[in-house]
């Protein structure tokens, strides 16, 4: 069986690594640098070891390509391309459209086409299928299915094998073939009654996190105003054995999923005549956190950070990964710079970001911890500046969010 995976990023390459044991995998990516690196056995994704990639390449089971022709004989095609937001924070399906073009123009036989990219209910039925048919010059009857990806990069306890996987096809045959495919490398498959249920469930999972993170960020602000320690309050609430789930306050939400996916749900809700009030408000609260943090820092530092050397510690969106997509550090840096601070950043895991290098963890007037990686010692952070503001709760002795 030949498997083609469109998009060799976090999701696509991770699946390639798992599926390489059972299928001949072609990883199609339109970024030629990514393709060249992958073909020389170098993975750019945490969790995908170079040795695994090299093993599949040596056995002839994996090849990356930017040539659409190479997917033409695939039996199964997985779509794993980005689904970001437009400037106006609306769903941006242009990568999906381009993936459909590659598939439509190149597939020479009927295949099972599965979307793993996150998108709103109705995407496989009303968008992907018609787009592939539009781009295809041949009259091919493909099977279509959805299986939203739930991978959490950097996580070791849950992976492709043991994370329950939702799936549904547009037809019973598509559903059955999707089950056969994933059962080769996933232990726990959960069939749902329609693709729309799987698509909606994925969006709701991340919306649930987004809204709860906003709620706890609001609690952090309330607690500070009341002179109460928010983390002790949360620990106390967390002793209830039922009906409570603990979320931690932070500088905001980051990554490709939590800040983005809820807006896909809000968009489809509004098109259906329902106002997604919680989602919108949660977005506002999370996006406002950098401003709130900058205000707190200003108040603690004589009312202004103008001309002060401020070091932002940790610019990845979460600990122990190099991913900076949608990182709240970016908004915080903007706000601090707008207030006249001279801002630099330190993050040994990220290394290079926006063409600048991580600076040493020392010599600042103010340090603000956005993300605390395991390799960065709290003592070193405390020594980096006379005033340290910690949004993570991991640097004891610093001023806490």
Ligand X SMILES: NC(=O)c1ccc[n+]([C@@H]2O[C@H](COP(=O)([O-])OP(=O)(O)OC[C@H]3O[C@@H](n4cnc5c(N)ncnc54)[C@H](O)[C@@H]3O)[C@@H](O)[C@H]2O)c1
Binding site for ligand X (CB under 6 A): 6-12, 28-31, 34, 80-83, 95, 98-99, 102, 116-118, 149-151, 153, 256-257
* Catalytic machinery residues: 257
Spatial separation of the C-alpha atoms in residues 401 and 390, rounded to whole Å: 6
- Residue 345's DSSP bridge partners are 312
Q: Least distance from C-beta 156 to ligand X, angstroms?
A: 14
Q: Least distance from C-beta 258 to ligand X, angstroms?
A: 10
Q: Least distance from C-beta 129 to ligand X, angstroms?
A: 17
Map tokens 């401003």 to a residue: 291
DSSP secondary structure letters along 161-202: TTS-EEEEESSHHHHHHHHHHHTTT-S-EEE-SSHHHHHHHH
Q: Least distance from C-beta 291 to ligand X, angstroms?
A: 26
- Residue 144's DSSP bridge partners are 113
Q: Supply φ then ψ for residue 374, to 5 degrees.
A: -60, -35
Q: Which is nearer to ligand X, 61 or 325 (CB)?
A: 325
Spatial separation of the C-alpha atoms in residues 297 and 303, rounded to whole Å: 8
Q: Least distance from C-beta 221 to ligand X, angstroms?
A: 28
Q: Least distance from C-beta 63 to ligand X, angstroms?
A: 14
Q: Which is nearer to ligand X, 308 or 373 (CB)?
A: 373
Q: Supply φ then ψ for residue 230, to 5 degrees.
A: -65, -35
Q: Which is nearer to ligand X, 8 or 223 (CB)?
A: 8
CA-nearest of 144, 151, 202 to 168 is 144
Q: Which is nearer to ligand X, 118 or 346 (CB)?
A: 118
Judge whether 281 and 287 are in contact, CB under 8 Å: no
Which tokens is 255 given? Answer: 């990554």
Q: Which is nearer to ligand X, 149 or 298 (CB)?
A: 149
Spatial separation of the C-alpha atoms in residues 138 and 108, rounded to whole Å: 7
CA-nearest of 255, 258, 368 to 321 is 255
Spatial separation of the C-alpha atoms in residues 166 and 159, rounded to whole Å: 14
- How distant is the alpha carbon of residue 395 from its chain centre? 25
Judge whether 229 and 223 are in contact, CB under 8 Å: yes
Q: Which is nearer to ligand X, 14 or 223 (CB)?
A: 14
User: Using DSSP, how many helices (H) and how many strands (E) does the chain show?
Assistant: 13, 15
| Chain position whose Cβ is nearest to ligand X | 9
């Amino acid at each position: 069986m030949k498997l083609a995976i469109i998009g060799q990023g976090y999701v696509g390459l991770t699946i390639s690594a798992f599926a390489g044991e059972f299928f001949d995998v072609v990883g199609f990516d339109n970024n030629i640098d990514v393709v060249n690196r992958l073909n020389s056995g170098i993975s750019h994704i945490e969790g995908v070891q170079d040795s695994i990639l090299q093993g599949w390449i040596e056995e002839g089971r994996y090849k990356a390509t930017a040539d659409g022709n190479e997917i033409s004989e695939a039996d199964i095609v997985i779509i794993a391309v980005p689904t970001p937001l437009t400037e106006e924070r609306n769903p941006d399906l242009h990568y999906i459209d381009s993936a459909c073009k590659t598939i439509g123009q190149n597939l020479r036989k009927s295949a099972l086409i599965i979307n793993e990219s996150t998108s709103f209910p109705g995407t496989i039925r009303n968008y992907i299928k018609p787009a592939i048919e539009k781009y295809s010059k041949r009259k091919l009857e493909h099977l279509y299915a959805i299986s939203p990806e739930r991978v959490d990069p950097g996580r070791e306890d849950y992976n492709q094998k043991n994370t329950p996987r939702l799936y549904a096809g547009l037809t019973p045959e598509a559903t059955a073939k999707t089950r056969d495919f994933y059962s080769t490398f996933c232990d726990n498959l959960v069939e749902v009654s329609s693709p729309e249920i799987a698509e909606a469930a994925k969006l709701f999972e991340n919306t649930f996190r987004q809204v709860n993170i906003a709620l706890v960020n609001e609690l952090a602000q309330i607690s500070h105003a009341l002179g109460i320690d928010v983390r002790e309050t949360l620990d106390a609430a967390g002793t209830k054995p039922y009906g409570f789930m603990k979320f931690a306050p932070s500088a905001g939400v980051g990554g490709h999923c939590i800040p983005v996916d809820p807006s896909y749900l809000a968009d489809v809700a509004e098109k259906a005549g329902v106002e997604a009030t919680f989602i919108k408000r949660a977005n506002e609260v999370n996006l406002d956190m950098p401003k709130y943090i900058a205000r707190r820092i200003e108040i603690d530092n004589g009312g202004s950070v103008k001309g002060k050397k401020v070091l932002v510690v940790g610019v990845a969106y979460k600990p122990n990964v190099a991913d900076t997509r949608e990182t709240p550090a970016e908004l915080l840096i903007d706000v601090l710079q707008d207030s006249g601070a001279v801002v630099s950043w330190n993050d040994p895991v990220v290394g290079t970001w926006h063409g600048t290098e991580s600076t040493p963890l020392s010599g600042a007037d103010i340090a603000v911890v956005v993300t605390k990686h395991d390799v960065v010692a709290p003592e070193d952070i405390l020594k980096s500046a006379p005033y340290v503001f910690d949004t993570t709760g991991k640097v004891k002795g610093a001023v806490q969010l």
